[in-house]
Amino acid sequence: MKQTILVIDDNPDLLDIVDAILSEAGFVVAKALSGEDGLNVARNLHPHLILLDLNMPRMDGWEVLKLLKADAVTREIPVAIFSVRTDLKDKIFGLQRGAVDYIPKPFQYDRLAARVSRILEHA
C-alpha cells in the first residue's frame, strides 16, 4: 500500500512540483491550499505524513500544527514543517510543538523524496 503525504501550502505551483516529485517516488499526494482545507483533509484522509507551510493567509502553519496536535483524530500524524523560515528559533519552536522535522525551502528536488522516506521510517 502506498503511503499518503498531505502537503499544505498556499502556493499552487509549489504544490504541483512537490506532487510530481513525491508521486514519481511512489507516494500518493494530497494537496491543500489553506490551513483550513488542510485540517479538513487531514481529518478525513488521515495521511501518513503532513508537510506544512508556515506562511499562509488566514490561518498560518503554527495554528494548523496546534490544531492538528490538539485533535484526537490527527494528533498522531507526523508533521514536518516545510517553510522558507529558517531561523533556529522557528525550528526549535516547531519541534517543541510536535513537528517531527523541519524541511527548509527552497529544497533540493532530488532529495525531497529521500527526506520524506526517512521521516516515515522514523515516525
Digit-coded pLDDT (tens) for 62-119: 999 999 999 999 999 999 999 888 788 888 888 899 999 999 888 888 899 999 999 9
Q: Which of 18, 34, 14, 30 is nearest to 116 (CA)?
A: 18
Helices H, strands E: what count in the chain?
5, 5
CATH fold group of domain 4-122: Rossmann fold (3.40.50)
Sign of CA pseudo-dihedral 38, 41, 46, 48:
negative
Digit-coded pLDDT (tens) for 36-76: 999 999 999 999 999 999 999 999 999 999 999 999 999 99
Show me where the domains of the chain are located. Answer: 4-122
Residue type, position 52, single letter = L
**1 CB contacts (<8 Å, ≥6 apart)?**
none
